[in-house]
Amino acid sequence: MIKLYEKYISIKDVKDAILLKAVETGEVEVIDFFIKKGYDINADGVFIKSLNNESTFRYFLSKGVDPNDYKNDWDLRRSMEKYINIQKALIDFDYEELIRDTVGFIPDLKDDPKYKNAVKRAEEIKKYNL
């Protein structure tokens, strides 16, 4: 086991590696363990890595990570443009404005009964400058 981590200089590097692997694989229990131990979930691009796993992404949103802090990040913008599940998660956590103000809504959301009203409301707010 020690051989796996001998290239790391500090225990923090080992923790970072474990946390990033947990984010990539969707191991929410491991991530939750780190958070309960006081690990900073906003550190080292952990949130951006979560874009590749919907359950992990939703977990971070539920823990209060604000995607507005990352609105200029290219990976977040690309994921919002490309993946409808990212936009659905953001809408579920009331980040319609972020989508509207950065990349716009994926057209298929307008046909989804659960999300069409949220999309319409967000677009009308901008249209009427409210």
What pLDDT shows up at residue 58? Answer: 95
| CA atoms within 13 A of residue 87's CA, in its CB half-sphere | 27
Predicted confidence at residue 34, as pLDDT, reads 84
Domain regions of the chain by residue span: 1-65, 80-130
Check residue 126 and give its pLDDT: 72
CA angle 75, 76, 80 (to 5 degrees): 115
What pLDDT tens digit does each residue of the chain (130 aa) get?
Answer: 455 555 656 777 777 788 888 888 889 998 888 888 887 776 668 889 999 999 999 999 998 889 999 999 999 999 999 999 999 999 999 999 999 999 999 999 989 999 989 999 888 887 776 5
In terms of residues, how long is the chain? 130
